[in-house]
Amino acid sequence: MAVDPKSLLCNCHGVMHGTVQRVIDKHECKTVADVTRLCRAGAGCRSCHVEIDELLTLAAAKRGGFWRRLLRRFRS
Ligand code: FES
């Protein structure tokens, strides 16, 4: 499902989807803590952690390796 990059992902800190996606891609973040350190998303109530985690999983799958194999297993 495509998400509007200008939509708000983290309400607590006003961080957009596109910002989180760029941070994940540029720095190859592996954890929510990595994302939080770089752009503050997830540093408040933590309700956005699930969404950040989904973006991390998708990015890892695109990069390949362990996550790609894991996702393939769940999709088959
Ligand atoms: S919505 Fe992201 S920390 Fe609260």
1-59, pLDDT tens digit by residue? 578 989 999 999 999 999 999 999 999 999 999 999 999 999 999 999 999 999 999 99
Ligand 1-lining residues (CB < 6 angstroms) = 10-12, 41-48
Chain mean position to CA 11: 15
Domains of the chain with CATH codes: 8-75 (1.10.10.1100)
pLDDT at 73 over 80: no
CA distance 71 to 18: 23
Q: Give kind and range of the element (H or E) at residue 8.
A: strand 8-10
Residue 32: which residues within 8 A CB-CB, separation 6 or more?
Answer: 42, 49, 52, 53, 56
Token couple for 41: 């998303």
- Our mutation pick for probing the ligand 1 site, out of 10, 36, 52, counting the most ligand atoms within 8 A of Cβ, is 10
- The predicted pLDDT at position 61 comes to 82
Query: Terminal CA-to-CA distance of the chain, rounded, Å?
Result: 19
